[in-house]
Structure 1
Amino acid sequence: MKIFLSEEQQMIQDMAKKFAESELAPVAAQLDANPDAELFNANLAKLAELGFMGLNIKAEYGGVEAGTVAFSLAITELAKACAATAVTTSVTNMVADVIQAVGNEQQKQTYLPKICSGEFLAGGFCLTESSAGSDPAGMKTTALKDGEDYVLNGSKIYITSGSIAGVFVVWAVTNPEAAKGKGISCFLVDANTPGVNVSKSEDKMGQKASPTNEVHFENCRVPAANMLGLENKGFAIAVSELAGGRIGIGSLALGVGLAALDYAKTFIQERQQFDQPLAKFQGLQWMLADRYTDMEAARMLLMQAASLKEQGQSFATQASMAKLFASEKANKACYDALQLLGGAGYIKEYPLERFARDVRITSIYEGTSEIQRIVIARDILR
């Protein structure tokens, strides 16, 4: 694993940091208090112009070919300012990665330039259902062959960017008689396809500016040419791409955790009690030391997983380790940072309560911490 960043990786990290500080940080609290779709979408469009929606996509399809390490670095910097923007960027990159990895040439030429350019503000990853969350193989959505089309029926829940996505990657059962997980296929479904209906955005605890929706498919006809990969082989695509998505969510958690600690560090250096700055008290120093150590360890795990993926090596277990550790420790970092602010941390005038709400979901989506432990343990015991 490379210890030092390349010139290109450093450039992308710096660009993400500058954009986050100048465009995202000034409006993050505003978007949290009163989600403004126009403002949020405008920032997504700007990120696309800068190349952040196709970080790992080949230049011939409109991407920047920066790789997974650069992707992780960028998501962390964006998340320091606005977790809602970071998660939309992360999932959209994941959708583009799926299409590049599995799609045929026509599918790549059709969809990747639209995602990378911002013509599609976002991409949607439609896997989770009400009875198939941690157990996606138990999905009920069906896609039955009818002539040259497949007819989709069913619903997906908790879909990031559901209301603003231009295309969905959708998993559905194509062979109901097959063993569980063996008869599932994957499709590209344009958001404007008849039969696609998106419900209103969920009222969430955190990351409020990023829309999360139910997506319903009612007699939705999708051309057979829009199938990604082989029929009845789609579940393997989901498992593979979730591993890459975990690098994104772990990176997001790292960013939020660092933002919380950085704010708390400044606060305790300035606030005085007992005639001296809070930072002079050893107990508080040790809280910061432990949490910053956690964040640095999380960074190293993420860089290892990202580097392995970038080199085409097996990385799924390392991605689960990184996502598990980063999300759990970032939650701890946010709550300890809030504690360092005392009563001020509980007041909305300060950003700590937002960080604590934003970071909580990172140990749930893209596979809960419990699922990560199962993935890791299976590999250890294999």
Structure 2
Amino acid sequence: MAVERTLHTPEAEQLLELTGEIVDKEIAPRAAGDEENSVFPRDVFATLGEAGLLGLPYPGEYGGGEQPYEVYLQVVEELARGWLAVGLGVSVHTLSCYPLAAFGTAEQKAAHLPAMVGGELLGAYCLSETASGSDAAALATRAERTDSGYRVNGAKAWITHGGQADYYALFARTGAPDSGARGISCFHVPADTPGLGSAAPEHKMGMRSSPTAGVLFDDVELDADALVGEEGRGFGIALSALDSGRLGIAACAVGLAQAALDAALAYSRQRRQFGSAIGDFQGLGFMLADMATQIAASRELYLSAARLRDAGRPFSKQAAMAKLLASDTAMKVATDAVQVFGGYGYTRDFPVERYMREAKVLQIVEGTNQVQRLVISRHLAKEG
């Protein structure tokens, strides 16, 4: 079942139709096998770039699609419905483009954005560290001033596409060790820069096709023009990017939940017990009704937040709400889908056990759901 679309232009409709075709023909059929074997589908991202789907929310003058975020997120949902590693990978890549697209100079944009949004390059977002996950302002990776630019030393952790990316949107401390959020700057760092390396990928319970690894910086020399935005203003860039990134995670969560519901519905119609399809029993029918309702509510919440963003209005609180509700919904729906399948749902013969394992990470990435509640409560306090 394709996503329920909320579109306003023929071009947007064509984008969703194209995405659905790619998902059904090239993405969904290989998801289970590649996840089982931890295969990173780099070729899929090249295909999406060629189709114009990797730069949808960015300016056309640099090769982007100039689409509203409302449209872009529905494309992400459709991709995640077919394979979460791809949907989340597109969300992370879009996140990695944001600092340069929003805060870079005209020269930086002209030099880097066309290859980034066109799919020639795949990006990663380097913010988290082993000791600064939820407390992102406590990061310790340092970028010291040199005569020609900056020298970076430190290590990042839990980086999606770590070791596979062609460039990194890096956040490092340029101020004093105790400067907190005020002493952080943003940099654009090509992956082939000398001194930059990666740790072995993490062994995860799900999302095995999406590499997550530490990224290491050992006397990495950067030119001055690697700085994105003003020195010391990087934490504001990071938070601004994460507001948009949380909407990407919400869209991924809805896509995964939709896939779980589709599988549960199909099984409930073919599986028979006591002479009837199990979907005809009220207890299971009510469970499916709740799953569908939660998905629809989550979808409308992320679309509502996207419309605020597209209108240039504040949307940070709504982005946190959307990420919170959608990822909790994905976990609940995937768990209920396993229940619908009964014992078969606990086996790898059906996809719902994979959906359940994958859903969990969505409650953690780009700010845990506990952090989302903190963000929301702080907004409520200010409004009060």
Task: Give the shorter-chain TM-score range.
Answer: over 0.9
Q: Tell me whether 1:29 sits opposite 2:58 in the alignment.
A: no
Residue by residue, what CA displacement relative to the aligned partner does 1:15-60 show, whole Å, maximum 9, x if unpaired? Answer: 21111111111100011111234xx111110001011110111111
Question: 1:332-351 counterparts in 2 under 5 A?
Answer: 332-351=332-351
Q: What's the offset of the Cα at 1:5?
A: 3.4
Aligned-residue sequence identity (percent) comes to: 37
Counterpart of 2:124? Answer: 124
Aligned to 1:374: 374
1:158-307 paired onto structure 2 within 5 Å:
158-176=158-176, 179-307=179-307
Deviation at 1:164, TM superposition (A): 1.9
The answer to whether the Cα contact below 8 Å between 2:50 and 2:118 also exists between their aligned partners in 1 is yes
- Which position in structure 2 is the counterpart of 1:70? 71
Other-structure match for 1:114: 115
TM-score (ref. length: structure 1): 0.97
**C-alpha distance after superposition, 1:100-119 (max 9, x if no partner):** 10111111111111112222
**Are the aligned partners of 2:7 and 2:71 in contact in 1 as well (CA < 8 Å)?**
no
For 1:214, give the aligned amino acid: G
CA distance in 2: counterparts of 1:27 and 1:101, whole angstroms: 35
TM-superposed CA distance for 1:177, in Å, is 5.4
Any idea what SS the aligned residue of 1:295 has?
helix
TM-align CA RMSD: 1.2
| 2:101 match | 100
* Alpha-carbon distance between aligned partners in 2 of 1:155 and 1:70, rounded to the nearest angstrom: 35
Question: Would you say the 8 A contact 2:128–2:136 is kept in 1?
Answer: yes
Structure 2 residue 11 is the aligned partner of structure 1 residue 13: no
Structure 2 residue runs of 5 or longer lacking an equivalent are none
SS of the aligned residue for 2:180 comes to coil
Structure 1 residue identity aligned to 2:25: S
User: Are 1:8 and 1:66, in contact at CA under 8 Å, matched by a contact in 2?
Assistant: no
8 Å Cα contact 1:58-1:64 kept in structure 2: yes
In structure 1, the partner of 2:314 is 314
Residue of structure 1 equivalent to 2:324: 324
- 3-state SS of the aligned residue for 1:182? helix
Change beyond 3 A, Cα 1:223–1:57: same
Partner of 1:356: 356
2:166 aligned counterpart, secondary structure: strand
Asked if the contact 2:185/2:235 (under 8 Å) is kept, the reply is yes
Q: Distance in 2 between matches of 1:350 and 1:99?
A: 41
1:84 aligns with 85
The C-alpha deviation readout for 1:152-180, integer Å capped at 9, x for no partner, is 00000111111221111111110115532
2: distance between equivalents of 1:210 and 1:378?
Answer: 33
73 and 176 in structure 1: CA distance in 2 versus 1, 3 angstrom threshold: same
Q: Could you state the TM-score of these two structures normalised by the residue count of structure 2? A: 0.96
Counterpart in the other structure of 2:50: 49
**Cα drift, residue 377 of structure 1:** 0.4
**1:119 partner amino acid:** E
Q: How far apart are residue 4 of structure 1 and its match?
A: 5.0
Letter paired with 1:98: P
Give the partner amino acid of 2:51: L
Whole-Å Cα distance in 2 between the matches of residues 214 and 191 of structure 1? 13
Secondary structure of the corresponding residue to residue 202 of structure 1 = coil
Contact 1:254-1:298 within 8 A present in 2 as well: yes
Flag structure 1 segments of 5+ consecutive residues without an equivalent.
none
The verdict on how the C-alpha distance between 1:177 and 1:128 changes in structure 2, with shifts beyond 3 A counting, is closer
Query: Could you tell me which amino acid in structure 1 is paired with residue 381 of structure 2?
Result: L
Q: Indicate the SS of the match to 1:155.
A: strand
Task: Summarize deviations over 1:66-93 as a string: whole Å, max 9, x none.
Answer: 1211111011101111101111111111
Cα distance, 1:259 vs. partner?
0.3
Q: Deviations over 1:292-318 (max 9, x none)?
A: 100000000010111111121111111
Separation in 2, partners of 1:174, 1:329: 39
Letter in 1 for 2:247: I
> How many pairs were matched up?
378
Q: Name whichever of 162-171 and 321-330 sits farther off.
A: 162-171
Q: CA deviation at 1:9?
A: 2.4
